[in-house]
């Protein structure tokens, strides 16, 4: 991997994480619910917006784009905004290539095992 790609990922990732923080803070400020266990609208919104944006950009740039676009925007910006968008894109690419069993295994496995590992990690440290 070229050093300039790492810099572009770093730059895009910083912008994406900052955008996620700004949007989720704004959403949380709009939803002043006194209930601590309310639906997490902020990250839910970031995940869905990130999925839409990564799909739009990937579809638009799929065939012809400069080499620097993917590391800056796909991996960096949207990866920093939400890794869920990268998960969604990987699943979309598997579906697009008619690898339905792999797509289902990847999607279900990521969600179920991710939740399980989060629970195990939490249990081990608390």
Q: What is the mean pLDDT of residues 82-108?
A: 91
**Cα 88 to Cα 81: distance, rounded to the nearest angstrom:** 13
Residues in the annotated binding site:
79, 82
Indicate the SS3 state at residue 2: coil
* Residue whose tokens read 């008619």: 98
Half-sphere exposure of 58 (CA within 13 A, CB side): 20
CA torsion angle 62 67 68 70 (round to 10) = 30
Supply the pLDDT for residue 3: 85
Residues in the annotated binding site for Na(+):
79, 82
Contacts of residue 55, Cβ cutoff 8 Å, sequence gap at least 6: 88, 89, 92
**Residue 34 pLDDT class (50, 70, 90 cuts):** low
**Residue 114 pLDDT class (50, 70, 90 cuts):** confident
Supply the pLDDT for residue 92: 92
Flag whether pLDDT at 17 surpasses 80.
yes
Q: What is the pTM of this model?
A: 0.74
Mean pLDDT of all residues belonging to the chain: 88
Range of the domain at 109: 3-32+41-125
Mean pLDDT is highest, among 53-57, 58-62, 91-95, for 91-95
Q: Where are the alpha helices (DSSP H) in the chain?
A: 3-30, 41-61, 69, 79-81, 83-96, 100-125
Least-confidence region, from 60-64, 73-77, 94-98, 114-118: 60-64
Structural domains of the chain, count: 1
**Cα 105 to Cα 84: distance, rounded to the nearest angstrom:** 16
């Amino acid at each position: 991997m070229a050093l300039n790609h790492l810099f572009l990922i770093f730059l895009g990732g910083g912008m994406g994480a900052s955008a996620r923080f700004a949007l989720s803070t704004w959403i949380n400020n709009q939803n002043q619910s006194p209930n601590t266990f309310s639906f997490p609208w902020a990250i839910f919104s970031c995940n869905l917006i990130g999925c839409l944006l990564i799909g739009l950009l990937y579809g638009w740039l799929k065939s012809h784009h400069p080499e620097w676009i993917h590391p800056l925007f796909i991996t960096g910006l949207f990866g920093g905004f939400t890794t869920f968008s990268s998960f969604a894109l990987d699943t979309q690419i598997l579906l697009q290539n008619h690898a339905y069993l792999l797509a289902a295994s990847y999607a279900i496995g990521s969600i179920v095992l991710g939740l399980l590992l989060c629970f195990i990690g939490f249990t081990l440290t608390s």
